[in-house]
Amino acid sequence: SSFAIKCGGPQITSSTGIVFDGENEDLGASSYYMINTERWAVSNNGMFLDNNNPQFTQNSSSQFTNTLDSNLFQTARLSPVSLRYYGLGLQNGNYTVNLLFAESAFPDSPKWQSVGRRIFDIYVQACITNNVNSLSPATPNAIYDVYMYSVGFHLELSVNFTANVSHNFLEIHLYWAGKGTCCIPAQGTYGPSISAISVTPDFVPTVCNRPPGMCSRKKKAMSAVIGISVAAAVVIIVFLLVIFVLRQRKRRILIQNANAELSGTGVKPNIFSYAELQVATNDFNAANKLGEGGFGPVYQGTLSDGTVVAMKQLSAASLQGKSQFLTEIATISAVKHRNLVKLHGCCLERDKYLLIYEYLENKSLVE
């Protein structure tokens, strides 16, 4: 519900990031223009007296010293009598109306040209108002003198008003009521002059003030983003689910094969996959090797639940074979004694045969 207008000039982005829509249409004595987004409109009415070449815009190449946005004030919209700006399709509520002015027609010098004054009334929502300097709000017949309140030539002046929108539109009316000078420094130097307008809501808008097509395109784009995000999330979830199912299936097959090999021993120890033991020993890193015997190397490892274990791996060069390996599993599982290390499980995956024991540090039986 916010909008900004660069009156009488092209589109400009201010130092604060506000994008002022260009409003440099050729407005004549009685004309009207509405931007293609239908967010705002402008109308002009009146003819400059005794001026054969009336200009409805003002241009200056000078720098305005009291602002970071000098180019915002180098063009302005002029009107001989009545200049109106309309905010369209606004959500009802209070808005801050910021009007930006600068006077460049009257030079700051001791010459006679500097005595000119441009004075006009400001109406916001059909109410005459002025909150500049010492003037009190809602002063009857309040007038506006840009030169006097900006305190000089080529100086920026910013004025804020609070306006209540109750019927979805805002009207800003600048009106010349015959006050001020009319022919200094040249004929037709009078009437409203404004450089820019910025309107922002004093609340968080919940509706779109763009044309239906643009709002629907934005909604479609948002819907597309949401749809893509949801689809991506579903694909990721399905992918993770497939991986989980495959791993579970692989583990079931592993256990089934191990139980088949152990069927003659009458025991059913815990079955570990070789991948689990690789993780536990950091891929059987040499730093985790505890020693080596006739059966094969022994590694220290940490299972996924934090249990520290010793893993005895059957070496291909070992004189013991698969039958001795299965016999050891049956024997250790059948005999229970506090002085015997506990068997946590085994691995029988293809040609990988490992026994996983309780890990004990070098201590005596007493300890």
Residues in the chain: 367
Distances (CA, A) of 281 to 179, 286, 322, 329, 358: 93, 9, 23, 21, 14
pLDDT value of residue 285: 92
- The residue type of 244 is F
Q: How far apart are CA 142 and CA 131, in angstroms?
A: 9
Look at the pTM and tell me if it is higher than 0.75. no
Return d(Cα 228, Cα 24) in angstroms, integer.
Answer: 41
| DSSP H or E stretch at residue 45 | strand 40-45
Judge contact between 246 and 319, C-beta under 8 A: no
**7 CB neighbour count, 10 Å cutoff:** 29
Q: Which residues in the chain land under pLDDT 50?
A: 130-143, 150-151, 364-367
Please give the structure tokens belonging to residue 245.
């199912």
What pLDDT is recorded for position 202? 95
Q: Tell me the C-alpha distance between 226 and 140, whole Å.
A: 54
What is the C-alpha separation between 77 and 59, in angstroms, rounded?
9
Q: Are 275 and 350 in contact (CB under 8 A)?
A: no
Q: CA 207 to CA 227: how far, in whole Å?
A: 22
**Burial (0-12, 13-18, 19+ Cβ within 10 Å), 226:** exposed
Taking a C-beta distance cutoff of 8 angstroms, is the pair 300, 313 a contact?
Answer: no
Listed in sequence order, the residues at least 6 apart from 248 whose beta carbon sits closer than 8 Å to its beta carbon are: none
CB 109 within 8 A of CB 173: no
Express each pLDDT in 18-63 by its tens digit: 999 999 998 888 899 999 988 999 999 998 887 777 889 999 888 8
Q: Which pLDDT score is estimated for 151?
A: 43
Residue type, 259: N
Q: Which of 340, 321, 343, 336 is nearest to 261 (CA)?
A: 321
> Distance between CA atoms of 164 and 91, rounded to whole angstroms?
10
Coil, helix or strand at residue 296: coil
Name the CA radius of gyration of the chain, rounded.
Answer: 43
- Token reading at 329: 């599993």
